[in-house]
Each structure stands twice: as C-alpha cells, then as structure tokens.
Structure 1
Amino acid sequence: MVPLMAMAIAARFALLDLRRRPCSPFSSSAAAAAAASSGEALVSDVVSLLTHHRSKSRWSHLRSMCPDGLPPAAFSQIALRLRNNAHLALRFFLFTRRRALCDHDLRSYATTIHVLSRARLKRHAQGLIREALRISPDTKPVGVFEVLVRTYRECDSAPFVFDLLIECCLEAKKVDAALEIARLLRSRGLSPKVATLNSLICSVSRCRGALAGYEIYKEVFGVLNGGNVGNPKGAVRISPNVHTFNTLMTCFYQDGAAERVEEIWDEMVRSSCAPNVHSYSVLMAVYCEDGKVVEAEKIWDEMRVKGIEADVLAYNTIIAGFSESGQIERAEELAREIELNGLESTGVTYEHLIKGYCNVGDVNSALLVYKDMCRKKFGPEPSTIHAMTVVLCGQSRVFEALDILRGAGDNSCFLPKGKSYEVLIIRLCLEGKMEEALRLQAEMVGKGFETNLEIYTAFIDGYEKKGNREMVEKLRKEMLDMQQKVD
C-alpha cells in the first residue's frame, strides 16, 4: 500500500516542481507531457488500488489518493480499465458520486453504461441511463444517444445498449425521442431489437392511436401494402415476429377497429408467422364482441387442432362469448376444463359465468357462482353486482339484492354503480317499502350519486299509493326545482 501512496504523492510533487521552474522554450510542452504522465500515473494507481486492495480498505485509500477529486475524463479511463469487472466499476462510480469525488458528465456516464451493458447488467445500465437523461435536459435524449455512439467502440460495448436507451425513453413518455433514436440507428445501418420495436409500436399506438402505431410498424419493418420492401436507407434487414402482430391486433382491438384486427391476422399469415395463443385470444375476442360466437368457436377449435395449449386468457375469452350468447352450459363446461388442465380460474372467469346466468334469468345459479367467487377471495366488479341486482329485483327479491350490494361494499375498493341504487330504490318504492327506500337513497347520496328524475318519480308513485299527499307535493316541488336548475 505504501508504494502506491508514495507514487501518487511523488507524481503530484513532480508536477508542482515543474510549475515552479523558470519558463524555457520547451517548458510548455514539457509541462504538458509531465501533466499527462502524472494523470496516467494516477489512473494506473487508482486501477491498481481498486483491483488489488481489500474491499474494506480500498475506499478510504482512494479518498486520500484523490483529495482534489477526479476529472470525468480520468474517471472514464479508470472505468474502461475495469470493464472486465463491471460490478467493481459500478461500485467505483457510485462511490465517486456519493463522496463527490467526480463531477460526472455525459461521457463518464456513457462509459459506465457501456461497461455495464457489456457485462449484461441490464438493470444497472438502465438505472444510469435514466439518470443521464435527467442530468442532460439541454442535450435531450438524442444527445445521450450521440455520446453513447462516440464511446461505443472504445468501450467494446454491446449493441443492445441502444435498446435500453429507447426503452428508458418510452418509460419516461418521451415517444418522439425514442422514434428519433430508432431512426438514427437505422440511418447508421443498425436496428433495435424486435422486442424494442414492438414496445415502440405499442407506445405510439397508446399515445396517438392504433393507425399511427401501424404506420411506425410499416416504417421500421420496411412494409408496404402487406409486403416487405427491404431497407431503402440501408438499414439491417429485420422481420416482425408474432409479438409484433399481437401488439398491432391488440391495439386495433382496444381502439374498436375489429376489421383491422382481421387484416393484421391475414398479414401475419402471409408473413409465414405462426400465431400463438395470444393471437387466437384477440381474434376470438373480436368475434365474441360482434356476436359471432360460431366463428369464435371455429378459431378455438383450430387452435386446439394445431396443438396450441389454451391459457386462462383464451378460456376466459371464449367463456365470455358463450355466456353473452346464452350458451351458459357450454361456458360452464369450459370453466370446469380450466381446473382439469391444471390452470387456475380468475375473477374474470366467475364474472362471465355470473353474467351468463343472469342473462338467461337463472339467478340461483348466479348466486352459487358468486358465493364460490367470494370464497376464493375474488372481488366482484360493479357491473357483475349490477347484473345480479337487476335480475333479483325483477324477481321481487329486492332485499337479497340489497344484501349483495352492501356485502360487496364492505370491500373498500368496491364502488357500486349509481344505476344499481336506482334499480333497488325503484323496486322498494314499487313494493311500498318507503322507509327502506329513503335510507337507501341517503346512502346513495353519501356515495356521491345524485337523485335523478326516475328516482323522484318512483318516490312520488310510492307515496301516492300510500295516500301521503304531503310527501307527494313536497317531492314534486323538489323535482321541479331540480329540473329548473338543470335547464
């Protein structure tokens, strides 16, 4: 340890001695050479200290070796020499930042990011990329990209470092910057990974709609009119995969463009890209929502014939189709099959079955499924509670419906539908249970729902049947005042 300290101190004194000497024709160049030599010696000393000293003592020695800190350029040189020990390079970076030993710039960040990427330490590399994006608001993400490009070869980095940058931009909602970086890569004859391009398409679709995402798909994969047109800018040839097409189909489905989902499916088939279980699920969902359950079942059968095992999402999709079309027995059969195939039903499975039974008026079976759902600790959706409320009230079982609504309300995350209160209040008034209706109406207002004309009318009709003219007149005045405020 002593020789290393002595060398560092001697180097600094030599530099001071040179500065004190009288100027000569060669003093400037000599001083520059001495400074360079001193800097090189310091870099070597630090590297030696970090790689050969015990971990507990190296950091305290480092502080005394660099009392004036390290310039970013010196740090980058040290990090480069530590590139075969990326964990140590990261610890060194964090130490210099924590102890304010180096005022890091984009280049020192870039060097460390490359060292981490080269060692496949993706999570740590992304963490530093996020920081680099934050400390460089003036240069923007493209500036970070340019620095990474300039330092790429000397760091012997890994190409996916640019994928990590694009992913960080998307994470930070900097979609335009991510697009620009992808285009700059292509202009250099490079391309992000397919998974990164898929994320880019998805982000554009969410921000600007599925059609905008499709235009990006055509651009980055060189697709025109359903065919590949190569790479006019000389970018490396890259082909979409099944996840690309799944992303496009999902985005169009969420945008309500069912016909475009089928077009993407056809394009996937033309590209000789085999669909997977998610692909089939999206197409089945489109058919089920259009009421084309027969077509959805054909897709389900085709998937099974091809040996593609259904996951719970695929099961839930086809179960929803059968439930909504009134084929509840077929839906129940598939729900039982989920467990037989070693999968676990989800809350969505039970929701579909409950609504299916409600659709055919079999509320008793719906209640059995609901109890099973609660036993398995799945929280119901407000739409499911509303479906049972409507059917139970239609069968004059209003208090059962009220118990279910209040039972679900015990869950702090559950927010009932205002329509459910409306159905219950109207039914209570119809049956002449005015006190219960009033209490429920107060509870409804407490939940933030307003009393509407239908509810006023139900109360007025109920009190008229009871012969309570005073309440009828009072409610009519309130209803008139409410209408005037609305107008």
Structure 2
Amino acid sequence: MMIHVQIAKHPHKPLNLKLKPLTLFFSSSSSSSSQQQQQISATCAVSILTNQRSKSRWNTLHSLYPNGFNPIDFSQITLHLHNKPHLALHFYQWTKSKSLCHHNLSSYSTIIHILARARLYSHAYNTITTALLTSTPFKLFEILVNSYRDCGSSPFVFDLLVKACLQSTKIESSIQIVRMLLSRRISPNVMTLNSLIYRVCSKFGVDLGYEIYREFFRLDKEKYDFSHRGFRVVNPNVHTFNTLMLCCYQNGLMDKVEEIWGEMSEMKCDPNGYSYSLLMSAFCEGGRMGDCEETWKEMRKKEIEPDVVSYNTIIGGLCKIGDVGKAEEFFREMGLVGIHATGSTYEHLVKGYCSVEDVDSAVLVYKDMLRKDFRPDALTLDMVVRLLCDRGRVDEAMEFFRSGVVKFDLVPKEKSYEALIKGLCFEGKMEQGLKLQAEMVGKGFEPNSDIYEAFIDGHIRQGNEEIAEALRRETGSSCSWKGAIRSPFCHEVSSCQH
C-alpha cells in the first residue's frame, strides 16, 4: 500500500475556519444542496456547543438532533472545535455514550488528530485503540495520513498508533507502519522505537531486534538518502542500548552485551547506572568478577552513583563465587549511602552464606529478611533447610520450612523434603517423618531410595529390626513405593498405596 499524501511541515498551522465539505478525506456522493444542508446543520451544532452552558447544551443538541450525527457531520463539527479540544472530547464521548453517531475511520481520525494536537495523548491513544477494533492498522494509518493536514495534527499521532499496535501485539503492523513513515522521511520518536525494538527482540529474537535497530535509526548510512531538506534523523539514546543489552542478557548472549556496550561508546552515548548494571551482570554470568569490579570502579570514577540494581548485581556476583565477605562490604556501603536493600539483596547473601556453609550467618540474614517482610523464593528456603539439616538442626529447619509454606505460600523443593525426612529419621522421629513423606507425595514428589534408607536406618536405631528388614525387602521388590512406607509391621501408617 502506497500513500502519496505528504505530511505538512508546519503541523500547527491555523485551520481555515470557513465551514466547507472536507472532501479530501471524507468520501461523499452528496449533491451541492445536501452539502449546504450539512454545513447549516454543523454550524448550528457548533454554535450550541460553544455558546450554551454546559448543563443545557447536551439536552439542546439531543432535542435538535434526535437521530444523532453521521460521521461526516461529526467530523465537520469537531474540526471547528479544534481550539476547544476538551469540548471536542466531551462531544465525542457524548455521541459514544448516547449512541448518536456510528463512528467510522473518518470520524475517529478527526478526533484523534484534534486530541493529539492538543497533547491529550491518553485520550488520543484510547480512541486509536477503539478504532483498531473496527479496522486494520494500515487502513487507520492511511486515513490518518490523508487527514493530517486538514486537522493541523501533530506527528506524535503516529507514535500513538505504533504504541497501540504494540500493545495489541500487532508487532508486524508496527514495523510496517514505521517503515512507511521513514519512507516519507518521518521518524517516530526514540521512545517509540525503543519500545518496538524490545517487543521485536522478545517475540522474534535478538538478531531481528538488532536488525530493526540498525534499520530504524538509519545506521547503515550508505543505504539511505539524508539529503532531503527537513529530514530529521533520530539518534539512539542510552535507553536504546539498555534495551538491546537487556534483551541480549535475558537470552544468555553475554558476548553480545559487551559488543553493544562498545557500540554505545563508539556513538558517544554516555551510559547510565543501569547500563553499567547490565554490563556487570553479563560479566558475573560469565564468571568474570575481575572485569565486573573494574567496571564498578569505572562507574564510580565517572561519578555515576550506583543504584540498588548496581549494588545487587555486584553483591550477587560476589556471593556466587563465594566471596561473601566482600559482598557484605558492599551491603554495608548500601546502608551508609542511604540505599535500602531489597529482597534480592538478602537472597544473594543467604545463598552466598549457604554456598560457603556458614549456617549461622545464613540463618541470621534469612531471619532479617523475614523481619523486613521480604518474601524468600523456594530455592533460598531449600538451601537454608538443607544446610540446617546437615548441621543437625532439624527442628529449626522445620520451623523455617513451615513458615515458608504457610506464610509465603511457597512450594518447597523435593530436596527440602528429603533433607527434613532424613533428619527426622536420624533423630528417631519416625511418625513425623512419615507424615512429612505423605505430604511430599501429595505435592507430586515420589520418595527415592535415599528416603527409604533413612527410614530403615531410623528403625534400626530404635531397635525395630523386623520393620527395617521388611523395608529392605520392600526396597528390593518390584512394587513402586508411592504412598507412605508399606510394611506389615508399620501399623501406624494407614495411607498405604499399591
């Protein structure tokens, strides 16, 4: 589809207030007399809207126009309210609420332009989304282009159209609309392009997102003609590069993150704190903590103040390699500079202490996290529970386990159940172990041979050799064990399954 109407260079040029049929973008086969009738009707409606009090105008209009307005009449009236955009908006909303106009793309486009011109962007955007329910994005784009000059519109109207297409997941349509705009030497603003690039990366992959970035920012200069008078080249900003680096990071392309960082530097675009966080995250994922710390020093040297994301990134990286002492230094520094730790900060530290098997520090940080009402994830709970069980602190582990399930509605890992059951059996608490094992099965986890051995060892410690021997035979049988322990000597178990 080719549209040959060029958009005005001066979108806010005063409108011609002489009432006339808008034949440029409203197709009509009306005779001259019917057109005159429409003009008289529109003039009367405009007079009522602009001269009468707000409480009476709507009743007067309804009484004079009980059958409402056709889309052409609506557009004629609305255009002459361009200096009163809020009144035009109320007129549109009134016709919608009273079903007094069967709006089509022409009438929608008029009110969209008026609202965009007046910077009532949220209302313009909502009207675009309504229009898209009745048409394709390309048809709406065409009518917006053709009606642009007569409505004295703003170029941002096309940004709103692209955003509405993205919100309704019409990503391919957004791409084509931007291409048609660029072919007319018009570019959406950088924020719109950034949103489009992110959506493309998310749906179609980073490679296509990167290609779209190169194309829409006209970075391959040999492919494009910049000589046309008035053509404004939109340059990528730091958020553009952050978007690309984030998408690469999310897709595990750590080398590509560093590559885009280099491209940002080449284009003389200054990174911000989030840019540094993304680069440090990529280094952490690759185990390059030395490069991560050097990046931190560079950020501080440039007097870019780290935010909570930056601190969490380097704390997480240090905890991952077991350098929890240095991670604690950054944690204390956060407090000193007035940055409040988040749940992620505590998660990193708990996991770090668990990885170096410092159970007391892990428990201390974990309790502090709960005291501050941060919600732990299931993996953190699992690590704490297992470490406590390994240290023989089964009751304490059980307490953490129950609080995670009851208070935070966490779904425990299979290893948590296994560690607790082993610990309970080791302490001779066979009945509690059996109840927990039944709960484990209810969560969809099947007991394994290690749990079987834990029950056997527990019965042996209590001198129940016959039960232990029965369980050994059970282990060697072909019958799978899916419920509680199946043993003829284990009379307290009533939930045997075969």
Shorter-normalised TM range: 0.7 to 0.9
CA distance, structure 2, for counterparts of residue 223 and residue 461 of structure 1: 70
Report 1:25-424 matches (<5 A).
32-136=31-135, 140-224=136-220, 228-229=221-222, 231-232=224-225, 236-424=232-420
3-state SS of 2:306 partner: coil
Task: State the match for 1:485 in structure 2.
Answer: none
Q: Give SS of 2:31's match.
A: helix
- Partner deviation per Cα, 1:12-68 (whole Å, 9 max, x = no partner): xxxxxxxxxxxxxxxxxxx93332222111111111111111111111111111122
Deviations 1:380-413 (A, max 9, x none): 1111111111211221112211110111112354
Percent identity of equivalent pairs: 48
Contact between 1:453 and 1:479, CA under 8 Å: does it hold in 2? no
Measured after TM superposition, the shift of residue 480 of structure 1 is: 4.1
CA distance, structure 2, for counterparts of residue 429 and residue 34 of structure 1: 97
- Give, as a single letter, the amino acid of the residue that structure 2 aligns with 1:123: S
Cα distance in 1 for partners of 2:85, 2:411 equals: 50
Counterpart secondary structure, 2:278? helix
Q: Determine the C-alpha separation between the residues in 2 that align with 1:90 and 1:428.
A: 70
Q: Post-superposition shift, 1:450?
A: 3.4
The Cα of 1:99 is off from its aligned counterpart by 1.0
Deviation at 1:429, TM superposition (A): 3.3
Inter-partner Cα distance in structure 2 for 1:77 and 1:452: 77
Give the deviation of 1:219 after TM superposition: 1.3
Counterpart residue type for residue 213 of structure 2:
Y
Question: 1:356-387 CA distances to partner (integer Å, 9 max, x unpaired)?
Answer: 11122211111111111111111111111111
Question: Normalising by structure 2, what TM-score?
Answer: 0.85
In 2: Cα distance, 1:150 partner to 1:264 partner: 39
What is the letter of the counterpart of residue 415 of structure 1?
V
Taking structure 1 as reference, are residues 348 and 432 closer, same or farther at Cα in structure 2, changes over 3 Å only? same
Q: Per the alignment, do residues 480 and 457 of structure 1 end up closer, same or farther by CA in structure 2, a change over 3 Å counting?
A: farther
Shift of 1:481: 6.9
Q: How does 1:415-454 map to 2 (within 5 A)?
A: 415-454=411-450
Instruction: Identify which range, 321-330 or 195-204, moves more after superposition.
Output: 321-330
Cα distance in 2 for partners of 1:168, 1:38 equals: 37
CA distance in 2, matches of 1:348, 1:119: 43
1:125/1:389 CA distance change after superposition, 3 Å: same
- Contact preservation (8 Å) 1:186, 1:236: no
1:231 Cα deviation from its structure 2 partner: 2.5
Aligned to 2:20: none
Greater fraction helix = 1
**Per the alignment, in what secondary structure is the counterpart of residue 268 of structure 2?**
coil
Amino acid aligned to 2:224: N
CA contact (8 A) 2:449 2:475 kept: no
Superposed displacement of residue 296, structure 1: 0.5
Q: Does the 8 Å contact 1:182/1:191 carry over to 2?
A: yes
TM-score, scaled to structure 1:
0.87
Shift of 1:473: 3.1
**In 1, Cα distance between equivalents of 2:382 and 2:270:** 41
Q: Flag the structure with more relative contact order, 1 or 2, with Cα contacts below 8 A and sequence separation at least 6.
A: 2
**Local SS of the residue matching 1:284:** helix
Aligned partners of 2:41, 2:446: CA distance in 1, in Å?
75
Matched letter for residue 470 of structure 1: A
Whole-angstrom distance in 2 between the partners of 1:461 and 1:258: 48
Distance 1:32 1:293 in 2: 78
Separation (CA, whole Å) in 1 of partners of 2:218 and 2:264: 15
Could you tell me which runs of 5 or more consecutive residues in structure 2 were left unpaired when the two chains were aligned. Answer: 1-29, 483-498
Distance in 2 of aligned mates of 1:122 and 1:326? 50
In structure 2, the residue matched to 1:4 is none
Mark the CA change 1:454 to 1:147 in structure 2 (over 3 Å): closer, same or farther. farther
C-alpha distance 58-452 of structure 1, shift in aligned 2 (>3 A): farther
Given that 1:463 and 1:471 are in contact with CA atoms closer than 8 Å, whether structure 2 keeps it comes out as no
Question: Deviation per CA, 1:48-96, whole angstroms, max 9, x where unpaired?
Answer: 1111111111111111111221110110111111112211111111111
Is the 2:237–2:269 contact (alpha carbons within 8 Å) kept by the matching residues of 1?
A: yes
Distance 1:105 1:317 in 2: 52
Question: Deviation digits for residues 406-427 of structure 1, max 9, x if unmatched?
Answer: 1111235422222222222233
The separation in 2 between residues aligned to 1:231 and 1:411, in whole angstroms, is 60
Residue 463 of structure 1 and its aligned partner are, at CA, apart by 4.3
Give me the whole-angstrom Cα distance separating, in 1, the residues matched to 2:126 and 2:434: 57
Q: Kindly indicate whether the alpha-carbon contact (under 8 Å) linking 1:357 and 1:366 is maintained by their aligned counterparts in 2.
A: yes
Contact 2:316 2:348 (C-alpha < 8 Å) held by counterparts:
yes
Q: 1:470 maps to what in 2? A: 470
Letter matched to residue 395 of structure 2: F
Cα 1:295/1:356, change in 2 over 3 Å: same
TM-fit CA distance, 1:454: 4.0
The verdict on how the C-alpha distance between 1:129 and 1:83 changes in structure 2, with shifts beyond 3 A counting, is same
SS at match of 1:416: coil
Structure 1 residues 425, 151: CA separation in 2 closer, same or farther (over 3 Å shift)?
Answer: same
Structure 1 residue 431, shift from structure 2 partner: 4.3
Compared CA separation, residues 196 and 147, structure 1 to 2 (3 A): same
SS in 1 for 2:88: helix
CA RMSD after TM alignment: 2.0
Amino acid at match of 1:39: Q
Alignment correspondent of 2:7: none
Could you list the per-position Cα deviations for residues 89-120 of structure 1 after superposition, in whole angstroms to 9, with x for gaps in the alignment? 11111111111111000111111111111111
Q: Go from structure 1 to structure 2 and tell me whether the alpha carbon gap of 1:317 and 1:38 turns closer, same or farther (over 3 Å shift).
A: same
CA distance in 2, matches of 1:102, 1:221: 41
Secondary structure in 1 aligned to 2:191? helix
Paired residue type of 1:203: R
| Matches of 1:114 and 1:352, distance apart in 2 | 51
